[in-house]
C-alpha cells in the first residue's frame, strides 16, 4: 500500500476497539484468541498493542486513482471503524495534515545541515519553509469542520480512541488473556503520537512543563521506532536556538520567531477544534437526552484520547511555545 511513511499496516487494527471503551458496559478482558496474536504482531511492529496514530492514520489510507492527486476526494481509508463519513473525514483530514508537514520535516534537515556549515542564507530559507509548512498544517486542520460531525466524533469515534490508561472509565486497564496476569494500561490514539510537533518542538527548542513533557515523552512510545529515533536525532543535533542566540543573523532570528508564532497559532487553533469536538459536544450530549447516538461516560468528557486532561494540556503547550519567542535585537 502507498503511505507517506511507508509503514506496514497493523493487520489486527480492526479488533483494537473491541472493548468499546468509555461506556458503562466496558469489557475488562480481551479474549485470548485476539490478545495473543495482537500482542505478537505489535511486538514485531515495535508498537504497543492498541490502536495508535500510526495505525489509524499513517498506514490507513490509499488513493482511489493511483495516478491522481493526494487530495481528500481521491483518498479512501483501508480499515474503518464506526463513524461513517465522519470517521473517514477524521482519518483523511489527519492524513492531509501529515502531508502538509512534509516540507517542514524536510526543512528541519536542511536547517541542521546549514547550522553545521554556518550557512546563514540556507538556514534562513529553511526557516521560511518551516513557517509556511506550519501555516499549511493549520489551514489543513480547518477541513475538520467540513468533513467531521462533532456529535459523531464525540459519541462514536472518540470512544474507539480512548484507550485504557488514564481512563476513569477503565481505571484498572484491560486484561490481555493469555499474555499477562495483570491488566495492561495503554493510551489511546492521539495526535500527540504524531512525530510532527515533537520534531518541531525539538528543533525550535520549545521546553514544556514537567507534566506536559512527561505525557509527550510517553506518547513517543506509541510511535513507530524509526519515527521516535528521528526525534532523538533532532534532539542530539546542534541547537538552533543556541545558534540564533550566539551567532545568528537578525534575519534568522526574525524567521525563527515567525516559526514559533506560526506554531502558537496552530496550537491555538487546535484548542478551538478540541473545544468544538469535545467540550461543546459533551455539553450538547448532556442536554440532548434520548438519542440514536451512544452516551459516552461522563468520566471521559475532559479527557483527550491519549488520556490527557485535554484543555489544560493544550493551553500549556501553546503558552510554552509563546514563551520561547526571543526578543529582537536593537
Model-level pTM? 0.87
Res 111: pLDDT: 97
Res 294: pLDDT: 56
Known binding residue 270? Answer is yes
CB atoms within 10 A of CB 67: 6
pLDDT band at 1; cut points 50, 70, 90: very low
Share of the chain above pLDDT 70, in %: 85
What mean pLDDT, rounded, does the chain reach? 87
Question: In angstroms, rounded to a whole number, what is the distance separating the alpha carbons of residues 128 and 201?
Answer: 16
**What digits encode the pLDDT tens for the residues 198-236?**
999 999 999 999 999 999 999 999 999 999 999 999 999
Higher pLDDT, 281 or 255: 255
**What digits encode the pLDDT tens for the residues 240-280?**
999 999 987 899 999 999 999 999 999 999 999 999 999 89
Instruction: List alpha helices for 177-209, DSSP H.
Output: 195-204
Res 298: pLDDT: 53
Q: Which residues contact 38 (CB under 8 A, 6 or more apart)?
A: 12, 15, 16, 30, 49, 176
CB atoms within 10 A of CB 325: 17
Res 165: pLDDT: 80
Q: Which residues contact 30 (CB under 8 A, 6 or more apart)?
A: 18, 19, 38, 174, 175, 176, 177
**Nearest-CA neighbor of 186 among 47, 9, 36?**
47
pLDDT mean over 13-32: 58
DSSP letter at 67 equals T
Res 164: pLDDT: 85
pLDDT surpasses 60 at 311: yes
Q: 35-44: buried (b, 16+ CB within 10 Å) or exposed (e) per residue?
A: beebbebbee
pLDDT mean over 305-321: 81
The mean-pLDDT minimum among 83-87, 172-176, 287-291 falls in: 287-291
Res 207: pLDDT: 96
Amino acid at each position: 500500500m502507498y503511505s507517506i511513511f511507508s509503514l506496514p499496516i497493523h493487520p489486527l487494527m480492526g479488533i483494537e476497539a473491541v472493548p468499546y471503551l468509555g461506556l458503562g458496559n466496558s469489557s475488562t478482558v480481551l479474549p485470548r484468541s485476539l490478545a495473543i496474536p495482537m500482542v505478537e504482531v505489535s511486538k514485531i511492529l515495535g508498537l504497543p498493542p492498541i490502536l495508535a496514530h500510526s495505525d489509524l492514520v499513517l498506514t490507513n489510507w490509499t488513493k482511489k486513482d493511483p495516478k491522481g492527486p493526494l487530495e481528500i476526494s481521491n483518498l479512501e481509508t483501508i480499515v474503518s471503524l464506526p463513524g461513517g463519513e465522519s470517521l473517514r473525514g477524521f482519518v483523511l483530514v489527519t492524513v492531509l495534515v501529515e502531508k502538509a508537514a512534509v516540507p517542514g520535516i524536510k526543512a528541519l534537515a536542511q536547517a541542521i545541515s546549514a547550522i553545521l556549515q554556518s550557512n546563514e542564507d540556507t538556514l534562513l530559507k529553511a526557516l521560511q519553509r518551516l513557517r509556511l509548512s506550519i501555516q499549511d498544517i493549520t489551514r489543513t486542520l480547518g477541513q475538520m469542520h467540513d468533513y467531521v460531525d462533532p456529535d459523531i466524533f464525540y459519541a462514536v469515534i472518540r470512544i474507539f480512541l480512548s484507550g485504557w490508561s488514564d481512563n476513569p472509565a477503565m481505571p484498572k486497564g484491560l486484561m490481555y488473556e493469555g499474555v499477562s496476569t495483570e491488566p495492561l494500561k495503554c493510551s489511546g490514539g492521539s495526535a500527540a503520537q504524531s512525530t510532527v510537533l515533537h520534531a518541531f518542538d525539538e528543533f525550535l527548542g520549545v521546553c514544556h512543563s514537567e507534566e506536559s513533557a512527561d505525557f509527550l515523552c510517553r506518547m513517543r512510545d506509541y510511535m513507530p521506532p524509526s519515527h521516535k529515533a528521528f526525534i532523538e536525532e533532532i534532539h542530539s543535533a546542534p541547537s538552533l536556538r543556541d545558534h540564533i542566540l550566539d551567532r545568528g543573523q537578525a534575519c534568522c532570528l526574525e524567521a525563527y520567531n515567525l516559526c514559533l508564532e506560526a506554531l502558537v497559532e496552530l496550537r491555538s487553533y487546535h484548542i478551538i477544534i478540541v473545544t468544538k469536538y469535545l467540550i461543546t459536544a459533551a455539553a450538547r450530549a448532556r442536554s440532548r437526552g434520548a438519542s440514536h447516538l451512544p452516551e459516552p461516560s461522563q468520566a471521559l468528557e475532559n479527557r483527550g484520547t491519549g488520556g490527557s486532561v485535554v484543555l489544560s494540556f493544550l493551553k500549556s503547550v501553546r503558552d510554552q511555545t509563546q514563551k520561547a519567542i526571543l526578543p529582537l535585537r536593537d
